[in-house]
Copies of this chain bind each other. A is one copy, B any other.
Amino acid sequence: MSTLSPTPRSTLTRKKDRAATDRQALYDVLDEALICHLGLVLNGSPVVLPTGYGRDGDTLYFHGSTGAGNLRAAATGIDVCVTVTLLDGLVYARSLNNHSMNYRSAVVHGQARLVTDPEEKMHGLKVVTEHLTPGSWQHARAVNPKEFASVSVLAIGLEEASVKIRSGGPGEEPEDVDATGVWAGVVPVQTTFGAPVPADYVPADFPVPPHVSRARGR
């Protein structure tokens, strides 16, 4: 299996036992999460914004209005950091100090490329759409030329990335394992989907299409 090639900034300095080094672990985190947090430096200060994305092979795609300042800045080829986090559990230990979280996170470093080729740009829009709302690309009205011109698509390669995973029960000091009177364990955390709520202009007898109802089970 292809491995992640570490660079100094993608090598974990702490809790190295939580590092996953195969590329499939990276794909799994990126494909399961719904949104990412995109970080960049604007006027010397870090800015972190929640953003949609999608993955195709070793490329992440993003889209946004051509007027969005953060996307305009990212498109100039400055360094960006894309972080995706899945929170899996609250970890209760017998000591406060060993309380923790179960999570899977991916951190991608790179430089965003503004996608200018029309064919790749349309493909990038599809990848982002199908990540968050799979099936919509086929079902909904296509992007028209005016809409196509008003949106920017960025691409970031998955060359420099790290994955960190914590799972399982609490770590404890030996004296705490033998102690009594304190509960310890994990409360699982999940992302769940509610029943689809149709827009008020959708006829009452219009069935919820399978690609929407399926979204709940993923």
Contacts and interface: CB of A to CB of B under 8 A. Distances in A.
Q: How many copies of this kind of chain does the complex include?
A: 2
Interface string A71-92: 0000000011111010100101
Contacts of A50: 83, 85, 87, 103, 105
Contacts of A139: 182-183
Interface residues of A, number: 94
Interface string A193-204: 111111111110
B199 A184 contact: yes
A193 B69 CA distance: 36
A93 interface: yes
A46 B79 contact: yes
Nearest to A50: B85
A192 B217 CA distance: 14
Nearest to A95: B141
A136 B99 contact: yes
B93 A35 contact: no
Contacts of A199: 169-170, 172, 184-186
Interface string A46-60: 111110100000000
A190 interface: yes
A151 B42 CA distance: 31
Given A35-B85, A96-B125, A196 B189 contact: no
